[in-house]
Amino acid sequence: MKLDTRPAVVDCALYVGGVRQPDELPLAELYERACDRPDAFVWIGLHEPDPDQFAEAEKVFGLHPLAVEDALNPMPQRPKVERYEDVTFFVARTARYVPHEELTETSEVIDTGSVRVFLGRQFVVTVRHGEAGELRAARHDLEANPAQLAAGPWAVLHAILDRIVDAYLAIVTAIDSDVQALEMAVFRRDSGISIERVYQLKRELMEFRTAAVPLQRPLVTLLDKQTFALAKEIRRYFRDVNDHQTRVVEQIVNYDDILNSILQARLAQVTIDQNDDMRKIASWAALAALQTAIAGIYGMNFVFMPELHWHYGYFFALALMFGSGLLLYRALRRNGWL
């Protein structure tokens, strides 16, 4: 098929009976051919198109302006599914795990994007924003399985969502290692781990949660027989995706609770360390105050002050200061203040 040379178009093809056709034709002619066959559809994939680059698809497939506006908006959108007469518009957030040698206060753990999908009787339009959620592999996998691709546009949506949720599961597994490493470090007294590192992972988890958890509602909507009259086999595939999505949501909630516990434990450790520091400071201040008090008394220079003119008074004062300081030091040490 003749591809659009504009960089926004990633791939475009006509499929008949689940088999990709080699026709090199403009998009409008491909769609005309698809409309002549009940088992045919067109799938065009775009990456971050602008309105001019999307105008042809909008005109050929008769897409609703509100849905087009949502599809072209690069800002993150909440996952949703909407019906515009015979066209279904689906929004999903994509995510990927960013490998890192060590978690720091500024580590980027999660990178998110989005995929917006238009489904008609005989066409699929995918609009991807961001680097996460690349769909080329999903297309190749489907093309290698003509029997599944023959199910039409809904099979394409399933493949996309299945790949997105599988990426969620991979992220959950990777985050598990980060959470365990952080947990071990926090409860190791000599780790010196900062609260900022704990909070950074929690913030990245919240970004992942914002992207992944809301997908559950549109998936449930797809499984509602009164809303979408999907074929039994396709519905079974979407139910499997929903099951995996439920696992993702449960794990995210679990990790959030663990990170809250780690954060509270680290805050408690900081409070204890601060109390220990304050007790040490107070102890040394008490030792200094005792010596200052003795020196102050003997520095009054009253005429009738006892032992002021004693020959050994100076050495007695030093001995008194040293002895009293030693006794106070041992008492503070015995009680855990030093």
pLDDT of the chain, 338 residues: tens digit per residue: 444 444 678 888 899 988 888 877 888 888 888 888 888 999 999 998 888 888 888 898 999 999 999 999 888 888 999 998 889 999 999 998 888 877 777 778 888 889 999 999 899 999 999 888 788 888 888 888 888 888 889 999 999 999 999 999 999 988 888 888 777 777 666 656 667 777 788 888 888 888 888 999 999 988 888 888 788 888 899 999 999 999 999 988 888 888 887 777 777 666 666 676 777 777 778 778 777 877 777 667 666 666 666 667 777 777 777 888 788 778 777 777 66
Nearest to 291 by CA among 314, 322, 331, 315: 322
Q: What is the 3-state secondary structure (H, E, C) of 28-88?
A: HHHHHHHHCCCCEEEEEEEECCCHHHHHHHHHHHCCCHHHHHHHHCCCCCCCEEEEECCEE
Within 8 A by CB and 6+ apart from 112, the residues are 76, 93, 94, 95, 96, 130, 132, 207, 208, 211
Q: Domain ends where: 248, 267, 286? A: 267
CATH label of the domain that carries residue 287: 1.20.58
Does 55 share its domain with 112? yes
Does 103 share its domain with 185? yes
The reply to whether 3 falls in a domain is: no
Does 40 share its domain with 107? yes
DSSP state of 97: E
Q: Domain ends where: 250, 267, 284? A: 267
The pLDDT of residue 175 is: 86
- What burial letters (b/e) apply to 264-279, b meaning 16+ CB within 10 Å? eebeebeeeeeeeeee
Nearest to 26 by CA among 49, 44, 47: 44
| Nearest-angstrom CA–CA distance, 80 and 89 | 8
Does 240 share its domain with 106? yes
Does 189 share its domain with 102? yes
The reply to whether 1 falls in a domain is: no
46, amino acid identity: L
The reply to whether 239 falls in a domain is: yes
**Full-prediction pTM beyond 0.85?**
no
Q: Which is it for strands 123-129 and 87-97: parallel, antiparallel or unpaired? A: unpaired
106, amino acid identity: T
Does 84 share its domain with 230? yes
DSSP state of 301: -
Total length of the chain: 338
Does 325 share its domain with 207? no
The pLDDT of residue 90 is: 94
Does 318 share its domain with 193? no
Q: For residue 75, what are its two tokens?
A: 């800002």
Give the dihedral of Cα atoms 15, 21, 23, 29; nearest 10 deg: -20
Does 306 share its domain with 208? no
Range of the domain at 41: 9-267
> What 3-state DSSP class applies to 123?
strand
Residue matched to tokens 């300081």: 325
Does 107 share its domain with 129? yes
Q: Domain ends where: 209, 243, 267? A: 267
